[in-house]
């Protein structure tokens, strides 16, 4: 057995979007809005916990949230905009309040500044307008204008935006060049389904089938992890794919909590021991309904991550950290220390 060239890494990314991420979910509006307002406190609490525990996390933030008021936002609104066939997706018709106090669902400049000032936290992009790359009606020109706006509104805060998470994980390979030319070096690719992904050669078809059944009926298989040498795609972008979504706690699924923990721990251990990446993601508002249960699970995972740091050299890395290390290895680049 050889020592991995690169460390195992625990990557955490959060999609910070408030109402911009669920404008089209009209049926759940009222309850969801209360959760979103509460989730603002959890943004601070999560960032502070990460700083305290030396966790380097990526915050993929909707560009419009960088503003603290309508006046501050307006100069950044792009003139070329997506014209989605589904009109309800158009974010530019949203009625906005005056400022962050009056409209805490659409402005979050104070929270973005808090993230930027918190050690180890990477402020990244979730596009400017929660842009949908696979929806009919939009095109590359509108995406480029959106990404330029995201970069422009982050610039006064001195935030370079290196990493991006595309809304609804709508990865459109035709846009890879536009994303790279807009200044991004990495994105979070969609999560392969557990047990359905092509495995290494030694895994037989029978074993794969068994893994699928285990997922469905017993929940024994670990979420996928990713190898360092598979990250950079042929456009030069680094795909730091998701391993698992940290689903919100639900009392109805209480009986499954132990199993869920065990799977996440199995993913972390596999990454640590094999020198691979385990990438966990969620939204701050996923902690809104049951914050104590959410923070308890997160702390449980961070405790395990600390143990694996001692035993196997597992590291906490943001998406930006990962892409810097992966790209240093690509032809034409130079190896890191
Ligand atoms: Zn989103």
pLDDT in tens, 151-182: 999 999 999 999 999 999 899 999 999 999 99
Enumerate domains of the chain plus CATH numbers.
9-328 (3.20.20.370)
309 CA from centroid of ligand 1 (Å)? 31
Position 200 pLDDT exceeds 70? no
Distance (Å, whole) CA 144 – CA 61: 17
97 CA from centroid of ligand 1 (Å)? 21
206 CA from centroid of ligand 1 (Å)? 37
Q: Do residues 164 and 124 make contact, with C-beta atoms less than 8 angstroms apart? A: yes
Position 221 pLDDT exceeds 50? yes
223 CA from centroid of ligand 1 (Å)? 21
pLDDT in tens, 33-47: 888 999 999 999 999
Q: Please tell me the predicted confidence (pLDDT) of residue 207.
A: 63
- Report the share of the chain in percent with pLDDT over 90: 75
220 pLDDT band, cuts 50/70/90, is low
16 CA from centroid of ligand 1 (Å)? 7
130 CA from centroid of ligand 1 (Å)? 6
Q: Please tell me the predicted confidence (pLDDT) of residue 331.
A: 65
Q: Please tell me the predicted confidence (pLDDT) of residue 198.
A: 39
Label residue 168 exposed, middle or buried (CB < 10 Å: 0-12, 13-18, 19+). Answer: middle
202 CA from centroid of ligand 1 (Å)? 37
Position 264 pLDDT exceeds 50? yes
Distance (Å, whole) CA 292 – CA 149: 36
Distance (Å, whole) CA 285 – CA 19: 10
281 CA from centroid of ligand 1 (Å)? 11
127 CA from centroid of ligand 1 (Å)? 9
């Amino acid at each position: 057995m050889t020592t991995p060239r690169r460390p195992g890494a625990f990557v955490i990314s959060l999609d910070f979007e408030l109402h911009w991420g669920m404008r089209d979910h009209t049926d759940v509006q009222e309850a969801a809005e209360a959760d979103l307002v509460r989730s603002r406190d959890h943004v601070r609490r999560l960032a502070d916990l990460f700083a305290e525990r030396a966790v380097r996390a990526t915050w993929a933030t909707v560009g419009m949230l960088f503003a603290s008021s309508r006046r501050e936002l307006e100069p950044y609104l792009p003139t070329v905009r997506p014209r989605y066939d589904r009109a309800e997706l158009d974010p530019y018709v949203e009625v906005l309040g005056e400022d962050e106090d009056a409209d805490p669902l659409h402005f979050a400049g104070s929270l973005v500044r808090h993230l930027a000032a918190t050690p180890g936290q990477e402020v990244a992009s979730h596009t400017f307008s929660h842009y949908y790359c696979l929806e009919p009606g939009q095109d590359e020109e509108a995406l480029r204008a959106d990404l330029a706006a995201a970069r422009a509104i982050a610039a006064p805060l001195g935030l370079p935006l290196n990493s991006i998470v595309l809304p609804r994980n709508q990865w459109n390979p035709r846009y890879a060049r536009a994303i790279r030319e807009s200044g991004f070096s990495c994105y979070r690719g969609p999560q392969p389904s557990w047990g359905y992904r092509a495995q290494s050669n030694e895994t037989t078809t029978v074993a794969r089938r068994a893994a699928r059944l285990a997922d469905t009926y017993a929940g024994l298989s670990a979420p996928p992890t990713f190898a360092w040498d598979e990250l950079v795609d042929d456009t030069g972008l680094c795909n730091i794919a998701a391993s698992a979504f940290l689903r919100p706690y639900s009392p109805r699924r209480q009986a499954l909590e132990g199993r869920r923990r065990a799977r996440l721990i199995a993913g972390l251990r596999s990454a640590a021991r094999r020198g691979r990446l385990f990438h966990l993601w969620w939204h701050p508002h996923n902690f809104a309904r049951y914050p104590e249960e959410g923070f308890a699970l997160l702390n449980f995972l961070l405790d395990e991550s600390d143990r694996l740091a001692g035993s196997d050299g597992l590291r906490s890395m943001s998406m930006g950290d990962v892409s810097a290390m992966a790209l240093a290895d690509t032809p034409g680049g130079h190896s890191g220390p």
